[in-house]
Structure 1
């Protein structure tokens, strides 16, 4: 499934998505070609834990859909993409404004296209770090996606 909007329209729409909106998560920048995006999480009373640092679920949420969405934007129609697995390694308490940057390179895209060319499923892995205002790593997330080329009909697959 491809994203049916321009990157600018998509950025505005996802910022209204309740899991982002109500958690103070904002997709701050999205490249028009879906190769890069920056997401921020602002500290609010409702997204702090008992230790007065960011709630771990908010850190996880800020990264949840991003790589799948970037791949949908880059690959376009004809591919099924979703999150398959994820893990988080908390490094230090997150306080203040936190930022995560996501990139999908042309090399990664070429490997995904090659691996799925005949309709095989592929599980690319990505790592993203969430950093604080000092540039220190708060947590590191490992995300595994499911990508598969889909065909409209059997003749297209046989070709």
Structure 2
């Protein structure tokens, strides 16, 4: 999975996956401020901050729910709190209990959307940006005519 660091969207923004839990329920990501990912005023480019948050909750749910489910990123909202300077980091994590709740709900109703808060922190631990990631989940055998 750490090969994702060589995937062009990650490599091109300077995003680096630093940690993956054995059960794929947690991903830690950092991004250093570089000449190629800063904006005109010398801080992290907003698109790069969003890119830090893009795939991780989809990865967590895909890995943990298994092949009987379809998981897709659906939407996002971003709120900038402070200028992003230096190295920034974000942890993406879902408990096994939460994953089980999602599985149970999808098994009962067939499909749903879930929104997760991503907080990007600076090196002092201050929130510089919040991203709400909405992920769509459904059973592969979901019957569209019934629901």
TM-score range, shorter chain: over 0.9
Aligned position for 1:125: 115
TM-superposed CA distance for 1:119, in Å, is: 6.1
Answering whether residue 42 of structure 2 is matched by residue 52 of structure 1, we say: yes
Q: Which residue of 2 aligns with 1:111?
A: 101
Paired residue for 2:90, among 97, 100, 103? 100
Taking only aligned residues, the RMSD between alpha carbons, in angstroms, comes to 1.5
Moved over 6 A (4+): none
1:119 and 1:150 in contact (8 A); partners too: no
Matched with 2:62 is 72
Distance 1:48 1:150 in 2: 41
Q: Which residue pairs with 1:5 in the alignment?
A: none
User: TM-score scaled by structure 2?
Assistant: 0.92
**CA contact 1:34–1:74 (8 Å) conserved in 2:** yes
Number of residue equivalences: 143
For residues 67-104 of structure 1, the C-alpha deviation after alignment (integer angstroms, 9 at most, x for no partner) is: 00111111121110011110011001000000000111
Structure with more strand by fraction = 2
> 1:17 Cα deviation (Å)?
0.6
Partner of 2:26: 36
Displacement of 1:151 = 3.1
Distance 1:141 1:147 in 2: 19
Unpaired segments ≥5 residues, structure 1: 1-9, 155-159
Q: Distance in 2 between matches of 1:119 and 1:136?
A: 38
Equivalent pair of 1:117/1:149 in contact (CA under 8 Å): yes
